[in-house]
């Protein structure tokens, strides 16, 4: 299940990025829902929120490769201890890994990550992101919530 969900995330992420690169120029912005949702094509050389974007590519790219490989080892190792019946935890790991691989592909081929989902609320603006980022965020949030609820349930038993 983890592999299938990860593959689905990677395919959707890469197809969406291909379409944006194919039909938009960098900095183009297309209104989807006025004041709320836009497709704005940017190329992010850094990590989340542009973190480490100022580093030289010779440092940045190997660093992100190492981080992705380390994350892969952690996800793979962790999932081996998760019982098959723990579907939500396994889904969360699949989302995280799929998102990590989606952005990893961009870093290898373009040396930057393609971002395009531009969420706003009138003049308030959030960082521009992509489907891989969304998958990682949803997966991590799901893991945190599941962990929190599991701890709450264990406290109730006493």
- Active-site annotation, residues: 115, 133
Distance CA 90, CA 84 (A): 8
Query: Which residue spans within 87-139 are E strands per DSSP?
Result: 113-121, 124-125
Give Cα separations from 107 to 4, 8, 65, 145 (angstroms): 22, 19, 8, 30
Nearest CA among 9, 14, 80 for reference residue 89? 80
Distance CA 100, CA 72 (A): 8
Which uninterrupted H or E stretch holds 43? strand 37-44
Nearest CA among 79, 75, 134, 90 for reference residue 1? 90
């Amino acid at each position: 299940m983890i592999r299938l969900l990860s593959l689905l995330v990677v395919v959707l992420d890469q197809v969406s990025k291909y379409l944006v690169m194919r039909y938009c120029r960098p900095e183009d912005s297309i209104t989807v829902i006025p004041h709320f949702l836009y497709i704005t094509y940017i190329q992010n050389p850094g990590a989340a929120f542009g973190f480490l974007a100022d580093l030289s590519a010779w440092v940045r790219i190997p660093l992100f490769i190492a981080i992705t490989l380390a994350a892969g080892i952690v996800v793979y190792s962790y999932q081996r201890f998760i019982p098959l019946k723990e579907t939500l935890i396994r889904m969360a790991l699949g989302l995280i890994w799929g998102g990590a691989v989606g952005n990893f592909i961009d870093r290898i081929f373009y040396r930057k990550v393609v971002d395009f989902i531009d969420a706003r609320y009138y003049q308030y603006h959030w960082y521009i992101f992509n489907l891989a980022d969304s998958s990682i965020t949803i997966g991590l949030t799901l893991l945190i919530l599941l962990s929190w609820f599991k701890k709450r349930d264990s406290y109730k038993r006493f």
